[in-house]
Amino acid sequence: MNTPLEDKIRELKHQGLKATVARRAVLEVLIEGPSHQSADDIATKISQRYPEIHLSTIYRTLDTLENIGSIDHVHLGHGRAVYHLGDDPHQHLVCDRCGSVIEVPNEIFASLSKTLANDYGFHLRRSHFAVLGRCQACEATDGSTAQPR
Amino acid sequence: MNTPLEDKIRELKHQGLKATVARRAVLEVLIEGPSHQSADDIATKISQRYPEIHLSTIYRTLDTLENIGSIDHVHLGHGRAVYHLGDDPHQHLVCDRCGSVIEVPNEIFASLSKTLANDYGFHLRRSHFAVLGRCQACEATDGSTAQPR
DNA sequence: CTGCTTGCAAATAGTTTGCACGTTC
DNA sequence: GAACGTGCAAACTATTTGCAAGCAG
């Protein structure tokens, strides 16, 4: 068994892609960092070690990695997308008040998924949508303390 | 019973808001038009009758209407938001291939909603998220004909 | 008349793209 | 050394905001 990074690099090469500094850097950050990071989050971290890596390269790299299935992204509702490794399929609960993200296992959506397929011929895409609502804390304080949205 | 438009105007006034031309126009389009329209869709239609109404006014109007609960919006995953009347709470299934939107009644999400509340303290927000996946047609033809995304 | 609304223009935020140069295999 | 990648700057899309003028109540 190898390091997760080495595994990802191997995936890259298997697809006939080159293992560049930028791609390694993006993968490192995704592997180390919190599980959900925006392109900008990633860029900020990378720029500490490799100041020359440009934001647009990060976008292109994320796009590439997503195409080969190494990572996934979710839209959190306010426009910004966050990326995460594609290894552990899960769904995202996003609080529309404080923006916190809760990950829940895919199985919770199994029966919904089945219903949608049977009744509507619709096939849920794994780990690619955010479910909006209120987290416990925000639900408790309701519209009194912080900003909605 | 009155026309839907009159009802909405009344809601406005009850909230101490003014019934302006722009607000009437936006409501008209939402009532007449397809059930899911983006700010830009709405602006385009309105500009035929009232060329002077500015896009930014539409955004402000949509925001206002949403605040008083007259309408809702959903993010369809690619950044653009669509708006619809708030009368009939439902969820949206969006095909990430062809972009089509299927509406499903809220009840289908009832058990999911309960599970999330019990296990995660998370309270699903009604009619405010899009579920991504593949519609029947796209699932059938898979990655062969059209563009993913 | 008085404040809520709007038009306009300019600013943002997030992401994408054209092009010439650089790097990996 | 050829093809793939990248830096940079500029374009884009969707949306927001400041401000002065306009209109509803």
Domain of residue A29, residue span: 1-73
My answer on whether B23 and B62 are in the same domain is yes
Residue in B closest to A130 by C-alpha: B129
Q: Is the domain of B95 the same as that of B123?
A: yes
Between CA B3 and CA B10, with CA B7 as vertex, the angle to 5 degrees is 140
Q: Are residues B56 and B122 in the same domain?
A: no
Q: What is the 3 state secondary structure string of chain B?
A: CCCHHHHHHHHHHHCCCCCCHHHHHHHHHHHHCCCCEEHHHHHHHHHHHCCCCCHHHHHHHHHHHHHCCCEEEEECCCCCEEEEECCCCEEEEEECCCCCEEEEEHHHHHHHHHHHHHHHCCEECCCCCEEEEECHHHHHHHHHCCCCC
Is the C-beta atom of B60 closer than 7 angstroms to strand D?
yes
Q: Mind telling me how many Å the CA of B91 is from chain A's nearest CA? A: 11
In a domain, B78, yes or no: no
Cβ separation A122–B111 shorter than 8 A:
no
Low-confidence spans in chain A with pLDDT less than 70? 1, 77-79, 97, 99, 126-129, 141-149
| B6 occurs within a structural domain | yes
pLDDT at B148: 38
Specify whether the CB–CB gap between A130 and A75 falls below 8 A. yes
Task: Say yes or no: B33 and B98 in one domain.
Answer: no
Tell me the CATH number at A125: 3.30.1490.190
User: Do B20 and B69 belong together in one domain?
Assistant: yes
Which residue of chain B has the CA closest to A67?
A: B148
Residues in chain A within 8 Å Cβ distance of B120 = 93, 102, 104, 136
3-state secondary structure of A64: helix
Cβ of residue B148 closer than 8 Å to a chain A Cβ = no
Query: Does B8 share its domain with B56?
Result: yes
Same domain (yes/no): A147, A93:
yes
CATH code of the domain covering residue A49: 1.10.10.10
Q: Is the pTM of this model over 0.85?
A: no
Of A116, A130, A136, the CB nearest to B93: A116
Put simply, whether A123 touches B (Cβ < 8 Å) is yes
Clarify whether residues B66 and B93 are in a common domain. no
CB contact under 8 A, A111 and B116: no
Q: What per-residue confidence (pLDDT) applies to B32?
A: 92
A135 neighbourhood in chain B, CB within 8 Å? 121-122
Chain B touched by A46 (CB under 8 Å): no
Nearest by CB: B124 against A75, A77, A133: A133
Asked if strand C comes closer than 7 Å to A6 Cβ, the answer is: no
**Quick one: closest CA in A to B128, which residue?**
A132
Contacts of A129 in chain B (CB under 8 A): 77, 129-132
Domain match, B1 and B69 both: yes
Quote the CA–CA distance of A98 and A122 in Å, as a whole number: 31
**For residue A119, what is the enclosing H or E element?**
helix A110-120
The count of structural domains within chain A is 2
User: Which has the closest alpha carbon to A77: A92, A62, A96, A52?
Assistant: A96
Contacts of A132 in chain B (CB under 8 A): 124-125, 128-129
Rounded average pLDDT per 10-residue block, chain B, 149 residues? 87 94 96 89 94 96 94 78 83 75 84 89 74 79 45
The distance from CA A148 to its chain's CA centroid, rounded to whole angstroms, is 23
* Residues B68 and B103 grouped into a single domain: no
Which of B17, B39, B73 delimits the end of a domain? Answer: B73
